[in-house]
Chain A
């Protein structure tokens, strides 16, 4: 006998309790602390901060713990929290040229003022499992030297001086805020960069990769990739000047792209730009390639129909919180719609069978 499914509320409560138990894992294993996640899962924390659009390593670590290590779920927790926060104002633009550098490389120049700094990178590690880590080995202290007193200006600004780089016009316009206004097209470059900065790393990686394989090729070189901390300053109206309110770690990538000129622009090098919170170079490089591909229109390039050239396609599908929500919502009950589809298919089949029978009789 059919009984309508009741007790949804009890089921939900029980599911949440089970989830909490699963999150904790075996009680015989010590619980992870937020500080452990923050210090030892730093790149995961960075990704959650970047795509969650909130620079707070402790909260990001908490979100990762609560999400059982599911980073998109953790990003979602951060986004939902962020949207409830009051806004006191906007900081002054961050001066990445004055970054306290931990890593800085250029693929276009062997050396540059300020030097190349490899920093803490996986780049030249051999990807061999380090079984010593299974037994909690302490890390050896790295060799140190005093910081280079020489300033490290943006490398592309050196090319700029020779007039080989496309000129960039400085502007005081306030960019549109993606989190406070609906996304509407056409989207200018500041808005596109905003969307890319919080976009899904995997999605941007694949799009950027597709441009390298010929779908909207932009011939990118990494002009400069730099990671380090930057001061965040805010103008305090009561004081009449800007004060430093903290510092954040940033990854910035500028690509140099070959450009043979178009109807509107002379031959020169053009740029792609990526800026991501925390240490996240894969994302920063991907972002700069996608940024450059999306600039085809303003540079008078040909639209080859490549996905990475399609602003609407890229911007509408880069957000993993929107994507995962809509994707996973098909788990929710749809039996009313399915029932109407059942009726329709039955009706069409009846009619098709009727036609066949009539044809057979003729």
Chain B
């Protein structure tokens, strides 16, 4: 059911062209934040307006779209964005990672490796990795231009000095192709290694902050660290209680008020796929194959 009152994928063609130009620039300068004339969208800033604009600019009628939030297809905002594109673009949608040509995500990278021809679109709240060290945009743009990243290293060093470890667990800064320091969006640092060498195109959209940036396929992306304090992707030290996966990112779920808890895959498609293939976790329901 397409809403005929609006153009395909909501935005008018001139706006989409403007966004595509910005995206091409972003792909040409990996990790560089390209200003773009972000539009007001019919959902609030902070709900993924940047990602939605990037997705709208990339979608073609033949695409199959998957939308996840926190790794899950059925979280309310993922449902809402998927519905928006079903309504305004009429494209096919899927929950299967492998079956999607465009995946819009908030806070996660799917567990299943993406392939060439796929596009991963990230929703980004604060695109500037240096923002919490320097609040001024005019200043941070200069720092990027001059490759002046000392402040970031000092911050990481102070973490080590004070806590014995780098105290950043998500939105962990990376360096792209040895040049730009980039915010990977608030994905857990567990997902950082997947950014590097990915076969799919990675596009990042920050609507309120009016920035897009991109990683072309197979870009080299390095999480910032020190030789004696190497970067360490972490997850809960458990297996998934539903599918038994030991290497997927887990959500901790409180099951009672007596300290009971269980751990389940945050990537719902990955977990469901494993269970369908007969894998079982500690608390998988009896009836399940």
Contact = CB atoms under 8 A, between A and B. Distances in A.
A21 to B, nearest CB: 20
A132 interface: no
B164 A351 contact: yes
A2 B46 contact: no
Interface string B195-207: 0000000000000
Contact of B47 (A86, A329, A348): A329
Contacts of A1: 283, 285
B169 A8 contact: no
B74 interface: yes
Contacts of A2: 241, 253, 255, 262, 264, 283
Contact of A185 (B138, B164, B264): B138
B46 A333 contact: no
Interface stretch (B33-41, B111-119, B144-152, B220-228): B33-41
Interface residues of B, number: 65
A336 interface: yes
Given A1-B283, A182-B38, A348 B253 contact: no
Given A1-B283, A2-B253, A185-B137, A329 B35 contact: no
Interface stretch (A74-82, A160-168, A202-210): A74-82
Interface string B106-127: 1110000000000000000100
Q: Most A CB atoms within 10 A — which of B44, B138, B170, B283?
A: B44
Contact of B75 (A333, A337, A351): A333
Q: Most B CB atoms within 10 A — which of A329, A336, A343?
A: A336
Interface in A155-182: 179-182
Interface SS, A side: helix
Q: Most B CB atoms within 10 A — which of A2, A334, A341, A347?
A: A2
Nearest to A344: B169
Given A4-B268, A337-B186, A340-B189, A312 B137 contact: yes
Contacts of B83: 9
Interface in B70-128: 70-72, 74-80, 83, 106-108, 125
A325 B47 contact: yes
A321 interface: yes
Contacts, number: 151
Nearest to B35: A182
B2 interface: no
A236 B35 CA distance: 33
A115 B108 CA distance: 65
A62 B186 CA distance: 37
Nearest to A80: B42
28 contacts: A1-B283, A2-B262, A4-B74, A5-B74, A9-B83, A12-B80, A79-B40, A80-B42, A181-B37, A182-B37, A182-B38, A312-B137, A316-B137, A324-B45, A325-B44, A325-B47, A326-B46, A329-B44, A329-B45, A330-B46, A332-B47, A333-B70, A334-B70, A334-B107, A340-B170, A341-B170, A344-B165, A351-B163
